Chains A and B, each alone.
Chain A
Amino acid sequence: GAVVSQHPSWVICKSGTSVKIECRSLDFQATTMFWYRQFPKQSLMLMATSNEGSKATYEQGVEKDKFLINHASLTLSTLTVTSAHPEDSSFYICSASGSGVGYNEQFFGPGTRLTVL
């Protein structure tokens, strides 16, 4: 149980285009989802926290107009990288926590590798 999926697993796009990444909790209700960014050989950097039905809370230095997060249901959150540029190339990982699945435990998706040309 407690499986989180991400789609797509990798994407290559041209500079200036927008890319949407989906994060789904498959077998539990995710009241909170977290979006992280990971650069090569580095730790995870929290970008934002989203609670179902509410606006996301962004970490300092993360542009909310650049990284649009929507958490419209208890099983789906989306991250849209708008007008992507090469510096946005990274590994994006979501995690989810919710009721009935491990107190204070977060379950991670497999990640999405974004490459912007």
Chain B
Amino acid sequence: GNSVTQMEGPVTLSEEAFLTINCTYTATGYPSLFWYVQYPGEGLQLLLKATKADDKGSNKGFEATYRKETTSFHLEKGSVQVSDSAVYFCALVSNSGNTPLVFGKGTRLSVIA
């Protein structure tokens, strides 16, 4: 079945550091890929998405590129801020209809000033 594997945290970075959170997936066909962010005590917010190979999703300085050859969708940001501290979830959904998202386990990011 479909699955998502993302790097385990927690990740602690200093403000303005470069961020990479690795995510790889296993899926049949051509899934859509997502990164969600969850701030403390809140629900999930969509951060960015990509629906086909070589698509780059970007939002709020975060980027991720859909790499079919490596089945990866790594999240990057060039300069993190304290306000980026949150849990980040990589997820995929099959393109065959209204099927549920498959989530990675989440990576907790803490950015210190």
Residues of A within 8 A of B (CB): 6, 31-32, 34, 41-44, 46, 49, 51, 93, 95, 97, 103-111, 113
Contact = CB atoms under 8 A, between A and B. Distances in A.
B43 interface: yes
B77 interface: no
B51 A93 contact: no
A103 B105 CA distance: 24
B89 A104 contact: no
B28 interface: no
Interface string B26-47: 0000001010100001111110
A44 B101 CA distance: 10
B100 A110 contact: no
A113 B42 CA distance: 10
Given A93-B43, A104-B95, A108-B45, A43 B103 contact: yes
Interface of B: 32, 34, 36, 41-46, 49, 51, 89, 93, 95, 98-101, 103-106, 108
A95 B36 CA distance: 13
B51 A111 contact: no
Given A41-B108, A42-B105, A110-B43, A104 B32 contact: yes
Contacts of B46: 105, 107-108
Contacts of B43: 6, 93, 108-111
A43 B104 contact: yes
B101 A106 contact: yes
A111 B103 contact: no
23 contacts: A6-B43, A34-B100, A42-B105, A43-B89, A43-B103, A43-B105, A43-B106, A44-B44, A49-B99, A49-B100, A51-B98, A93-B44, A95-B44, A103-B51, A104-B93, A105-B32, A105-B34, A105-B49, A106-B101, A108-B43, A108-B44, A109-B43, A110-B43
